[in-house]
């Protein structure tokens, strides 16, 4: 059973417009070096070392927009966050690889 939704970058941008940067959690699950090299504005780097604190401290009512490299790992992360009680989790299809083709930051 899929407890998260899959969206593309256009839907991501629509959600940012609707909720604003403070109204959503943008989560990057790529490795730290990739995150440091470039990431979506306001994205939180989530890894095994900080996921528990994120789950405990983040507002679970805010939508969570998760991306990775290609859109595969983000599905597992979105499912996990949904299982932890986040009300609306979204995996972004295509991942960061397609980010600059689809979104104007």
Query: Which of the residues 29, 65, 66, 68 is marked catalytic?
Result: 68
**DSSP state letters, 10-63:** HHHHHHHHHH-GGGSEEEE-S-HHHHHH---TTEEE--TTTHHHHHHHS-TTS-
Distance of CA 30 to the CA centre of its chain: 10
Confirm if 33 and 59 have CB atoms less than 8 A apart. no
68 flagged as catalytic: yes
Q: Which residues are catalytic?
A: 68
């Amino acid at each position: 059973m899929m407890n998260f939704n899959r969206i593309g970058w256009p839907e991501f941008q629509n959600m940012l417009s609707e909720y604003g940067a403070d109204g959503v959690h943008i989560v990057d699950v790529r490795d730290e070096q990739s995150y440091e090299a470039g990431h979506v504005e306001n994205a939180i780097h989530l890894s095994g070392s900080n996921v528990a604190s994120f789950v405990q401290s983040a507002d679970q009512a805010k939508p969570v927009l998760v991306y990775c490299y290609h859109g595969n790992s983000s599905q597992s992360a979105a499912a996990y966050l949904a299982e932890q009680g986040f009300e609306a989790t979204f995996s972004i299809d295509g991942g960061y690889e397609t980010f600059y083709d689809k979104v104007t930051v």
